[in-house]
Amino acid sequence: IEENLADLRDILAKAERKADRERIAVVSRDLRYWTARRESAELSVPEPGSDVVRFGMGVTIEGDDGRKVHWKIVGEDEADPTKGSISHVSPMAVALFGKKIGDLASVNGKEWEIVKLSES
């Protein structure tokens, strides 16, 4: 959220220098949205030593083909699959919640085994 706000402030400053009224209006709206999101955001830290998948945890899963993938389960605003984080409402995260190492999660007809849990 903080990165988004900083980026938007930079964009707004550039739009103001150019007197781009349309861009100013759009960016101002986005700034209001992200400021409100920041005000209502709550930090969630996984329970230390938890042996089941929870919000905020890192989960390493392995497919039938032996390929391993590591995901961190985060809030919708933080999710970036290209950087290894998925939203807590994504099908994968929903399939993983409450499961332990050795359990299987099925997503889109493919099964994944949970092989490791971490607090990040």
Least confident of 32-46, 60-74, 81-95, 106-120: 32-46
Sole residue written with tokens 């099964």 = 111
Q: Which of 45, 83, 117, 85 minimizes the C-alpha distance to 105? A: 117
- Specify the CATH number for the domain of residue 111: 3.10.50.30
Same domain? For 36 and 66 the reply is no
| pLDDT tens digits for range 18-73 | 999 999 999 999 999 989 888 877 766 666 777 899 998 999 999 999 999 999 99
Asked whether residue 101 is assigned to any structural domain, the reply reads yes
Q: How many domains does the chain have?
A: 2
Same domain? For 63 and 96 the reply is yes
Distance between CA atoms of 23 and 59, rounded to whole angstroms?
40
The secondary structure of residue 19, as a DSSP letter, is T
Asked whether residue 64 is assigned to any structural domain, the reply reads yes
Its pTM stands at 0.66
For residue 27, give its domain range: 2-40
74 forms bridges with which residues in the sheet? 87
Same domain? For 109 and 62 the reply is yes
